[in-house]
Structure 1
Amino acid sequence: MLLQRIGNRGIRLGTLFERAASRHSTNVLILDHDLDIAPELGRRATIAEIADLVDDFAARLWAAGIRPGGRVVVYKSDGFDITLLACAAARVGAVPVLLSPTLDGATVAELVRRTDRPYLVTDRAKLDGLPGVIFEQAERVLLTTGTHPDAGTLDASTGAARVPPVTRPAEQPTLITHTSGTTGVPKLAVHTGRSLQARYRPQAAIVAPILRHRETIALHVSFVHSRLITALAIALLRGFPIAVLADSDPKRAADLFARLRPGVLEAHPNTFMEWEELADDPREPLADVKLFSSTFDAIHPRTVHRLLAASRRRTPLFGQLYGQSEVGPAVVRAFTRGRAPDADGRCVGRPFPGMTDARVVGRNGRPPSAEHPGHIEVKSDGRILTYLGEQDRYDAQVSADGWWRMGDVGYRTKWGCIHLLDREVDLIEGFGSTLAAEDTLFDRLDELAEVVIVPGADGGAVPVVCTKDDRPLDPVAWRAAAAELPEMAEPVQRRIRDLPQTATTKIKRLELARRLEAEDRGA
């Protein structure tokens, strides 16, 4: 019944916490950080208290002049209050535009320009990194913390009269997020109430039979990604306690999990790679995890093995969702201890029956296969409305009959499984799947914390490696691990924190390749 009610009405971002509080007022939200907009709230609050905070800041935004249909860019220091400010903006009928705090000032200025004179909610620290033209591009700049002579503050509206929530029609824009930006300046993805609802349905349908009893859900997901919204809705409306992490540091995460004993853990694939070491923690911080959930990218088999082995639940699952910011989750696959991913780690699964579909279209006149991968395309009601200000780019990726080209290449087996081999822009001719090669190296070299194979200036494959604790790579072990793989250049070792990353911790492969080429020219 709950799934049906929410499916009919949508998530309704502006009243999400209010509706959750009306059902489960004493349910709790736990944080690993203080909220910049309400440090006095501490790191543990009831959902009713969070709902009141959203209502308070909605009133402040209204007092500052924000009205239904207006756009509100949120670009501030990292924290869960990014999400809460988005809820507050949606509550007064405005459209929140969420920009990652990892974006540089020039990129933010371009995205603000593209948003067409929005209100900009930021803080003094982030404002200082933006070009001065931002005051001309924004209708008004509002600071969550600090002051600036040309900006207003949300503190100035403390105690503003509360206003009733505004519900926008389901087919109209309700949230704008940005794409990963792995191939350049991010695109602004426009979500509607209906598209978010369509993303919620398959995820809730999967979770319902798995989580029959109350479990603590721990999330480490980018605060500017639409995935967080659907994950929150699933947990909040079922009354599950939620722990939200801003910091992926394994030691801090282990301390928190050892205390909270989460039953569900959701994070980015690269975060789960960092958390492999939690499997060796004597406190067994992962012992109670029943479901590990990962979206965004296919995950390395080694990581799946280690995490599932660390759980003491009888039948833990690792759920992998394959999708994209533009369409939401489209394909799903589950791993168990007895169904390991070794033989087909590149398999990302099958579509959600009755909700999404997928196909692979041949390239260069050849039918798609493992040797000649084709374009992966999906259909989903979760597809965004457009790219804001870039309709032509949007139209170029969607066919007349609604198939969305993912920008990935792979093939489909006779059993209907989609195998993801590479991003189209990352293909290295004659090499085969770089992602499969990376899987192999991870499986054979426990010392690796990251490995990314990128094209070199001569078109060949260059492996960039990061090791645990930045220890020197063992050259003998490397040669043995790589012996059966296609020919590669000598590995280039880097610290993982020096690799260019997106808001969801994906490595920007094209930028990394450009940096290596520039270094070679400089040498």
Structure 2
Amino acid sequence: MSPTPTPTSAADATLAGLPDGNLYAALRGAFPADLDRPAIETGDGPRLVYSWRDLERASAMIANLLASLDLPAGARVAVQTEKSVEALLLYLAVLRAGFVYLPLNTAYQAAEIEYFVGNAEPSVVVCSGKNFGWVSQIAFRAGTAHVFTLNEDRTGTLLDRAAHQPAEHVPVPRHADDLAAILYTSGTTGRSKGAMLTHGNLLSNALTLKDAWGWRSDDVLIHALPIFHVHGLFVASHGALLAGARMVWFSRFDPKAVLARLPEATVFMGVPTLYVRLLGEPGLTREACANMRLFIAGSAPLLIETFREFAERSGHVILERYGMSETIMLTSNPYHAADGERRGGTVGFPLPGVGLRVQADDGSPCGTDEIGGIQVRGPNVFKGYWRMPEKTKEEFTADGWFKTGDVGKIDARGYVHIVGRSKDLVISGGYNVYPAEIEGILNEMDGVAESAVVGAPHPDFGEAVVAIVVPRPGADLDPATLVAHLKARIANFKVPKQLFVRPDLPRNAMGKVQKNVLRDEVKGLFAG
């Protein structure tokens, strides 16, 4: 079955102004003339240095391997591996080979992987060697023809097979509207949706951010984010590659190790949790940050206390921005002082080429400082949800604007404020958690009558997942046992930090659970 297009009005809006061509070809065109210059250096583990020539040759070999498999046009390549430079090379290889990249969170468990593989029907699955046994069973049952392994220590069958391929490869021609990646976002009803992003979506956003954030060829990016979502895979990696800038590559975030490399770096991107952990280190000083030009935060709200303390300690004002899987980046606080100040508690202005409006529930436009639903359009807005034509249609307005599901306002100076989220989304440590998914699993457990899941402010994660469970008559529920069952079913970031058993849930006159009451009850749970 072919990807489902967006409604005509949305597609027309998305295609307007899209740069054409294969995204990899555009990234490759930005490589420096001296291909033997360092491109990526590992920041933890054994020190390894990859040149730009290494990136070109290694991605060509993997692309040739994929081409040799005789995959159908538009084939999906699903990847669930630990972070490594080779995993990034695999992503680049999929792009240049003209296939569709499908990154999967490394925390996903078997039931989640079974859904993604069954829904996307990838022709190729790449997983960590330690998970090959159960992942391959899921993949082969779903009809996947090829399963490879890729480990963070540069081993695995993918690299073994690619080693025998030629080191030259001409990128497969692609157009702006051709699919480049599918990112699954958790569904509010527990059913995840695959956001289809095109070569044009990704390239247009990368080019916009290159100008907006002043990327330079002499930049050095500390890359300490995962590469299975927008922030680390697209925003950070594309930014450095398109600038011909060097990356210091951390397989996982370690505040002490990152601080040790700050003096040689110029750019750092992180979710609020990473900034909180940096602030916990005495080594975060103005001297350590003297060479830095830009700290960027996103994927979750940054507490104003964190914003202010970081400025005081480092001498740098964090640049906050706003985006999502379906749109990549939408807004940004200014980089250049001439364009305005970076204001804590806001996500700045819409990026060039991005339309953003705030609408009331009745569809009328909201005025200054009036709160409503945020809607967007532009070349960065996705193609639609994979094999969900009705859901795609539902999420776009009749005049082609995408309904983000976020609630916010625009102040008198034009800054965008995100004040809430519809559908009760919880963002914990930068990861999206939809309560309905967790509630559905809890409600299936023996002895559980019903449950409610909410987010509570957390000094480290931004928000923490909290569950309240009501037992069936006569049932004796143990919170630790329920949490243990959840850990076996879902990714750890979705598992509640606290779970309470109580006789009932607060309801309004219509019988609807009052989650606002529950949020008020747990808001001080993690204080101090």
Same fold (TM over 0.5): yes
Q: Which residue of 2 aligns with 1:349?
A: 348
Give the match for residue 322 of structure 1: 322
Q: Classify 1:97/1:458 alpha carbon distance in 2 versus 1 (closer, same or farther; 3 Å).
A: closer
AA paired with 1:125?
K
Partner of 1:69: 74
Distance 1:366 1:19, change over 3 A: closer
Report the Cα offset of residue 410 of structure 1.
1.9
CA RMSD of superposed structures (Å): 4.3
One-letter amino acid of the structure 2 residue matched with residue 402 of structure 1: G
Equivalent residue for 1:516? 499
Partner of 2:273: 270
Match of 2:251 in 1: 246
Equivalent in the alignment of 1:13: 24
* Separation (CA, whole Å) in 2 of partners of 1:118 and 1:235: 30
Cα 1:520–1:169 change in 2 (3 A) is same
**Corresponding residue number in structure 2 for 1:233:** 238
What is the CA distance between 1:155 and its match in structure 2? 1.5
Which amino acid counterpart does residue 424 of structure 1 have in structure 2?
S
For 1:304 and 1:466, locate their aligned partners in 2 and report how far apart those are by CA, in whole Å: 13
- Quote how far apart the aligned CAs of 1:62 are: 2.6
Are 1:28 and 2:39 matched, yes or no? yes
1:101 offset after TM fit, Å? 1.2
Whether 1:199 and 2:208 are equivalent positions in the alignment is no
Is the CA contact 2:332–2:348 (under 8 Å) kept in the aligned structure 1? yes
* Matched residue type, 2:208: P
Question: How many Å apart are 1:266 and its aligned residue?
Answer: 1.1
CA contact (8 A) 1:317 1:336 kept: no
Match of 1:137 in 2: 142
Aligned to 2:298: 295
Pairs within 5 Å for 1:130-209:
130=135, 132-145=137-150, 154-162=159-167, 163-179=169-185, 184-208=190-214
Equivalent residue in structure 1 for 2:308, among 287, 297, 305: 305
Match of residue 382, structure 1, among 376, 380, 383: 380
Query: Aligned partners of 2:183 and 2:28: how far apart in 1?
Result: 20
CA deviation after TM superposition for structure 1 residue 67, in Å: 5.8
- Report the residue type matching 2:412 in the other structure: K
Q: How far, CA to CA, are the matches of 2:401 and 2:236 in structure 1?
A: 25
> How many equivalent pairs are there?
442
Q: Where does structure 1 lack aligned partners over 5 or more consecutive residues?
A: 1-5, 428-433, 439-451, 469-491, 493-498
Relative to structure 1, the CA distance from residue 305 to residue 280 in structure 2 (aligned partners, 3 Å threshold; closer, same or farther) is farther
Cα deviation digits, residues 184-221 of structure 1 (max 9, x gap): 3432211111111221232112123xx56723121223
- Provide Cα deviations, 1:470-513, integer angstroms capped at 9, x if missing partner: xxxxxxxxxxxxxxxxxxxxxx9xxxxxx99xx999x65xx649
Q: CA 1:101–1:461 in 2, change beyond 3 Å: closer, same or farther? A: closer
Cα separation, partners in 2 of 1:521 and 1:117, compared to 1, 3 Å: farther
Q: Deviations over 1:100-152 (max 9, x none)?
A: 21211211111111112421122321223438342121432332358xxxx97
Matched, 1:363 2:344: no
1:373-416 residue CA offsets vs partner (Å, 9 max, x unmatched): 32111112111112112222222111121211111112222333
Correspondence for 2:5: none
> What whole-Å deviation, never above 9, does each CA across 1:333-352 have from its counterpart, x for those lacking one?
2489995746xx2x222212
Aligned letter for 1:137?
A: A
Mean alpha-carbon deviation: is it higher for 158-167 or for 378-387? 158-167
Q: Is the 8 A contact 1:10 1:197 kept in 2?
A: no
2:397 is aligned with 1:402: no
Instruction: Tell me how far apart the structure 1 counterparts of residues 230 and 276 of structure 2 sit (CA, whole Å).
Output: 22
Output the CA distance in 2 between the equivalents of 1:520 and 1:22: 65
Structure 2's unaligned 5+ residue stretches are 1-16, 440-449, 462-478, 480-485, 505-528
Counterpart of 2:96, as a letter, is: R
Distance 1:91 1:504 in 2: 31
Query: 1:183 Cα deviation (Å)?
Result: 6.7
In the alignment, which residue of structure 2 is the partner of 1:482?
Answer: none
Contact 1:112 1:118 survives alignment (8 Å) = no
Gap change, CA 1:334 and 1:166, over 3 Å in 2 = same
For 1:255, the equivalent position in structure 2 comes to: 260
Change in CA separation of 1:332 and 1:156 when aligned onto 2, cut-off 3 Å: closer
Cα pair 2:269 2:297 within 8 Å, conserved: yes
- Check the 8 A contact 2:318/2:342 in 1, yes or no: no
Measure, in 2, the Cα distance between the counterparts of 1:378 and 1:365.
Answer: 14
Distance 1:371 1:231, change over 3 A: closer
Using structure 2 for the length normalisation, give the TM-score: 0.71
Instruction: Report the alpha carbon displacement of residue 224 of structure 1 after superposing the two structures with TM.
Output: 1.9
Provide the residue aligned with 1:480 in structure 2: none
* Cross-structure match for 1:285: 288
Q: What is the CA–CA distance in structure 2 between the aligned matches of 1:121 and 1:462, rounded to whole Å?
A: 33
How far is the alpha carbon of 1:63 from its aligned partner?
3.1
In the alignment, is the contact (CA less than 8 A) between 1:72 and 1:95 conserved in 2?
Answer: yes
Partner of 1:446: none
Offset of 1:298 from its aligned partner?
A: 3.2
- What pairs up with 1:62-141 in 2 under 5 angstroms? 62-66=67-71, 68-130=73-135, 132-141=137-146
Q: 1:252 to 1:283 in 2, by over 3 A?
A: farther
Change (3 A) 1:288 1:11: farther
SS in 2 for 1:130: helix
The aligned residue for residue 418 of structure 2 is 420
1:388 counterpart letter in structure 2: W
Identical columns (%):
21
C-alpha separation between the residues in 1 aligned to 2:297 and 2:102?
24
**Once structures 1 and 2 are overlaid, which stretch shifts more, 332-341 or 299-308?**
332-341
Counterpart position of 2:65: 60
